[in-house]
A and B are shown apart, each in its own frame.
Chain A
Amino acid sequence: DAKTTQPPSMDCAEGRAANLPCNHSTISGNEYVYWYRQIHSQGPQYIIHGLKNNETNEMASLIITEDRKSSTLILPHATLRDTAVYYCIVRVRGFGNEKLTFGTGTRLTIIP
Chain B
Amino acid sequence: NAGVTQTPKFQVLKTGQSMTLQCAQDMNHNSMYWYRQDPGMGLRLIYYSASEGTTDKGEVPNGYNVSRLNKREFSLRLESAAPSQTSVYFCASSEIGQGRRVSNQPQHFGDGTRLSIL
- Our count of residue pairs bridging A and B at CB distance below 8 angstroms stands at 74
Asked if A94 lies at the interface with its beta carbon under 8 angstroms from chain B, I say yes
Interface residues of chain B: helix, strand, loop or mixed (majority): loop
Interface residues of chain A: helix, strand, loop or mixed (majority): loop
Q: Is the CB of B4 within 8 A of A103?
A: no
Instruction: Give the distance to chain A from B58, nearest Cβ to Cβ, in Å.
Output: 7
Q: Is the CB of A94 within 8 A of B101?
A: yes
Q: Say yes or no: A46-B103 contact (C-beta < 8 A), given A100-B43, A102-B44.
A: no
Q: Is the CB of B101 within 8 A of A95?
A: yes
Instruction: Give the distance to chain A from B24, nearest Cβ to Cβ, in Å.
Output: 14
How many residues of B are in contact with the other chain, CB < 8 A? 34
Q: Is the CB of A98 within 8 A of B51?
A: no
Q: Is the CB of A100 within 8 A of B110?
A: no
Instruction: Give the distance to chain A from B20, nearest Cβ to Cβ, in Å.
Output: 19
Closest to A51 in B: B104
